[in-house]
Structure 1
Amino acid sequence: MSETNVDVFTALAHPTRRQILQDLREGEQSAGEIAGRFTSSGPTISRHLSVLRAAGLVTERREANRILYSLAGEQLAHSVGNFLSAVCPEQMLLRGLRHRAPSAASPADVSPEASLGS
């Protein structure tokens, strides 16, 4: 597993970080707004945000004296997709079928065992 994927799954391991990601689905939020939703201290939430940023799951921008965070969902989708493809051969088959021409067989027409040479 790549280092980026390890960072993503490490970031997802903590329930507070998962909740932060869910909250950011609503849109950009300041560090103070995020911290206000938790009983943890500001520095603790700041460390969680740092882990999420290092994993590429959130982006930040400065506006005057505030730091605003946004969800970077593409990185999460890419990392989880790569992981599933590695551990679930059926996912590789389905991904290959999606990239074929429209006249190609649908996933229901091809069994995973047949495509994997079983």
Structure 2
Amino acid sequence: MVFKALADPTRRKILRLLQKKDMTAGEIADQFNISKPSISHHLNILKQSGLVLDERRGQFISYSLNMTVFQEIMSWFSEISGRKED
């Protein structure tokens, strides 16, 4: 599921935006020329893959990167590339 989420350029751009700071769906949508329902769909895929976390803050939902998953992915890449030291 993670690689499917990363395969889409819109989702990769969302991840780059969230790398800079946590954002609401509206703030994310403002960075794109696509509909808010489309952004919501991309955010749901990112959440399902575990790459993004969401937290309700009042009437808004704030999205952030799930760094634990990114660290696990990087560790896995290191292992399969033979660069991990035991």
CA RMSD of superposed structures (Å): 1.4
Aligned length: 86
Q: Does the alignment pair 1:45 with 2:45?
A: no
The gaps in structure 1 that reach 5 residues or longer are 1-6, 97-118
State the percentage of identical aligned residues.
40
Partner SS state of residue 39, structure 1 = coil
Q: What TM-score does the superposition give when structure 2 sets the normalisation length?
A: 0.89
- Given residue 61 of structure 1, which amino acid in structure 2 is its aligned partner? E
Q: Look up the match of 2:85.
A: 95
Q: Look up the match of 2:10.
A: 16
- Given residue 85 of structure 1, which amino acid in structure 2 is its aligned partner? E
Q: Which protein has the larger Cα radius of gyration, Structure 1 or Structure 2?
A: 1
Higher relative contact order (CA 8 A, sep 6+): 2
Moved over 4 A (4+): none
Q: What TM-score does the superposition give when structure 1 sets the normalisation length?
A: 0.67
